[in-house]
Amino acid sequence: MTAAGAGAAGGAIRIDRLLVYLRFARTRSAADALIAAHALRRNRKHVLRGAEQARIGDILTIAMPDRVRVIELLSLPDRRGSPALARSHYREVDGDNLDPKGQMSVAPSPVLADVQADEPEDPS
């Protein structure tokens, strides 16, 4: 079994290698540059090293030059494949409520707005 296959079979893979396999970076050096630029988070925490492990179910936030991508890992690839194969390993998480930098919701939650509107005003 290859080193990449062993990592995927063990339930974890290096995050720099994962970025290459999922086609977010062309090389591990490019993936490391993304990490060094603080453009990658795993489960809301900045990734500090390419050797950090990613697991199934992790949420990755990737600041791309044109937009912010938020993905959930569904499975771990064992090699770099076609774009369609790479997309089968993750799903896009709804990022429609993100501001352009992907930091906070642009509008208040509809649930919160309904609760505040239904509360009676305090007459005192």
By residue range, what is the domain housing residue 23? Answer: 3-118
In this predicted model, what pLDDT tens digit does every residue of 65-101 receive, in sequence order?
888 999 999 999 999 999 999 999 999 987 555 555 5
- Within a domain: residue 30? yes
**CATH, residue 104:** 3.10.290.10
B/e letters for 23-62, b = 16+ CB within 10 Å, e = fewer, are: ebbeeeeebbebbeeebbbbeeeebeebebebeeebebbb
- Within a domain: residue 123? no
- Within a domain: residue 42? yes
In this predicted model, what pLDDT tens digit does every residue of 31-62 receive, in sequence order?
999 999 999 999 999 999 999 999 999 999 99
Count of domains forming the chain: 1
